[in-house]
Structure 1
Amino acid sequence: MADVDLATIAGVRRYLANTRFASHTINALTGGFANFTYRIYLNDLFEGKETLVLKHAAPYVAASGGTMALPTERQRFDVEALRLVRKMYADDDVITVPKVHLFDEEAHVMIIDDCGTDTRTLKQLVIDEALPQTVAEEIGTAIGRFLGRVHAWNKDTSFDMDIFSNNEVGKTISILVTYGRLISTLSGRDNIAALADPGLDIPEGKLAVISKLAETRSREMLSATEVLTHGDFWPGNIMVSLRREPEGSTLRLEKLYVLDWELAKAGLRGLDIGQFCAEILLLQRFYASRWEETSTIMRSFLLAYRGGSGSDEELARVAIAHVGAHLVAWTPRVHWGDKEDTRKMVAEGVELLIGGAEGTLAWLEGSLVGNLV
């Protein structure tokens, strides 16, 4: 159906009309950036479900209105990763991924389970609600164990890494959005308003260390072949379902879903860890009332991950440096707070980059990823 415009609800309705997924109501979902995503309300139940989610990968970034090209092959990695994780996890696990019901590679459409209208991203949940410490700890622990298992799958003789080793687009994107723009961000070449007037005035010695680290990390990312990584592991890609006990006073964790595996690839473990920790740190700093919850999530996440892999100094160095890279590359480009606070976070990112490259073991142990060592 080459004439169907899946960037519109009308086009999606026409695409689904003569399929088992025909729907009476279709709603566009917000919050995504790369794809067109819809909740479809089925005419007839499918495996007992009233709703599913349809994702369409156009050959461009959806949020760009067609001005930023993005290869559609990204969706194949999303589907393959989701199918792989489903084989590893049972439906009654507290953390899982949506089941893939359709993958139309020609139309670039996938239809997956709906996580539910009552779910929120972990980022939004932390912003919205004061979580009991027991729930925060359970969330962090479940995510840490999950990521540890994903990173260990290459040790299973039945696991075939070939498809993920070949995600060159994913590797290139991950390099460009972080290490590829560290120096241009810090030097002022990117003309970011929050970092101008005055400029940051980072000493040349520190810029040289960061430049060398960026080159080294980029080479490592391109040449990685052994470990499966998510590639975009942050609280915005983790959906949380909570439930209240009958008496209404006790909040419990029901389910966690890890979404958006388009950048799944052979990569560096520390980058998944670092991205998650960086975003939790940003929530902690810009939403001060959530200090306890975010601290608990971070600590339990790192301890649970370490419990599966053991102490690892090099992993911790990569992770803490990536926290720094994420703070530098993303904080001034995504609105978190005012100019002064944004500049403080970028400056902190610089110090974490330097510490990851040159810090002593004692410094590393005292850092926010110290629980890895």
Structure 2
Amino acid sequence: MTAIDTSTPLPDLQSYLHRREWLDSEERITAIEKPGEGNMNVVLRIVTDRRSFVLKQSRPYVGKYPDVEAPVERIVVEKNFYQAVGDIAVNAHIPNILGFDSEENLLLLEDLGHCEDMVSLYQKRRIPAKELDRLVFILGLIHKKDIDDGFPDNLEMRRLNHQHIFVLPFQERNDFNLDDVHPGLQDLSIPFKTDTALKSIVNRIGKKYLSPGKTLLHGDYYPGSWMTEGDNLYIIDPEFAFPGFAEFDLGIMAAHLIMVTGKKEPLNQIHEKYQGDADKKLMDQVAGIEIIRRLIGLAQLPLDRSLEEKRRLLKKARTLILG
């Protein structure tokens, strides 16, 4: 076994799983499926004559952008995160670990079923209050987890993320042709790339992001990491997890719900419902930075908004950052 994907010969994969004793001796694979579009890793649903489960493998690059290098150790971070939060309180909202192969950078996970991620929120332009409450509650449980000094600092993934959140979107000259994304967006982005006061705050918070912290963070708490099936709500893809500051997760969450609704109210709602201590100003600043990077950075969202709507979102983001 090396790299796996949907083209991996079924007998080879079956033989590997038998050697690992991840399949029963008489169990046979009947299908290999792609459960969804992952950004970072290869994710496969393995269907056997008895059950189904998920295989997830990291590569030394970003799955969606193969020319962008990324540390393969992120799969270890994901495993550690699930282990750290996997108790009765959080376990109902995360997949169980069924196996791990460190040499192949491969994680075997419980199949949560045919869930859907919550990126449809961007089209719905609203989030039900019940789902917002549950998402904040789950995040509060995660943040309360005690982690020892052995939890990975995930610094290489943070450095990668730091570039795409705090640096590249604010550079006057980068490789992003924003007019390819949305005609007129390039000119719209210029004031945010030349605002020295804005960039000074962004740089300061970027340094905080790279500094050690005490709170276990998911690291990418947005609709693409939230999964639903009926009344069930799951949190997945914690490969950006690290010990940091709670306001990062909270600000990221708020940013995406501001982009969903076009309003700043989610910030106050999240801050009020969060069961923990959080600096509202720092939350605001993280939210503003995330909005800007999602609108004028590489990691674009399925956000069907007019240029004027994006202008208003960027204006809100600047206000949040500058206070």
With the shorter chain as reference, the TM-score category is 0.7 to 0.9
In structure 1, the residue matched to 2:95 is 98
- 1:1-373 → structure 2 map (5 Å cutoff): 1-2=1-2, 5-11=3-9, 14-17=12-15, 18-19=17-18, 20-21=22-23, 22-44=28-50, 50-64=51-65, 66-87=66-87, 89=89, 93=92, 96-117=93-114, 119-124=115-120, 127=123, 136-154=128-146, 159-164=147-152, 166-184=153-171, 187=172, 189=174, 190-193=176-179, 194=182, 198-200=187-189, 202=191, 207-242=195-230, 254-285=231-262, 301-305=270-274, 308-310=275-277, 312=278, 315-332=279-296, 333-336=300-303, 337-355=305-323
Kindly state the Cα deviation for residue 6 of structure 1 after the two structures are TM-superposed.
0.6
Cα pair 1:56 1:110 within 8 Å, conserved: yes
Moved more, 9-18 or 222-231: 9-18
Cα pair 1:78 1:260 within 8 Å, conserved: yes
Give me the whole-angstrom Cα distance separating, in 2, the residues matched to 1:80 and 1:12: 29
Change (3 A) 1:38 1:213: same
Moved more, 81-90 or 24-33: 81-90
Task: Give the partner amino acid of 2:306.
Answer: D
CA RMSD of aligned residues (A): 2.8
Of all paired residues, the percent bearing the same amino acid is 18
Change (3 A) 1:335 1:349: same
Secondary structure in 1 matching 2:191: coil
Secondary structure in 2 matching 1:162: coil
Change (3 A) 1:85 1:6: same
Q: Which runs of 5+ in 1 are unaligned?
A: 45-49, 243-253, 286-290, 356-373
Give me the whole-angstrom Cα distance separating, in 1, the residues matched to 2:90 and 2:209: 31
Larger relative helix fraction? 1
Cα pair 1:13 1:26 within 8 Å, conserved: no
Kindly state the Cα deviation for residue 83 of structure 1 after the two structures are TM-superposed.
1.5
Give me the whole-angstrom Cα distance separating, in 2, the residues matched to 1:203 and 1:32: 30
Change (3 A) 1:343 1:188: farther
Kindly state the Cα deviation for residue 207 of structure 1 after the two structures are TM-superposed.
1.4
Kindly state the Cα deviation for residue 13 of structure 1 after the two structures are TM-superposed.
5.6
Secondary structure in 1 matching 2:229: strand
Kindly state the Cα deviation for residue 31 of structure 1 after the two structures are TM-superposed.
2.2
Q: Which runs of 5+ in 2 are unaligned?
A: none
Kindly state the Cα deviation for residue 182 of structure 1 after the two structures are TM-superposed.
4.0
Q: What do the CA deviations read for 1:336-370 (whole angstroms, capped 9, x no partner)?
A: 22333323322322222111xxxxxxxxxxxxxxx
Task: Give the partner amino acid of 2:307.
Answer: K
Secondary structure in 2 matching 1:26: strand
Kindly state the Cα deviation for residue 111 of structure 1 after the two structures are TM-superposed.
1.3
Q: Would you say how many aligned residue pairs link Structure 1 and Structure 2?
A: 307
After TM superposition, the score normalised by the length of structure 1 is 0.74
Kindly state the Cα deviation for residue 259 of structure 1 after the two structures are TM-superposed.
0.3
Cα pair 1:161 1:266 within 8 Å, conserved: no
Change (3 A) 1:124 1:347: same
Larger Rg: 1
Change (3 A) 1:178 1:82: same
Task: Give the partner amino acid of 2:82.
Answer: L
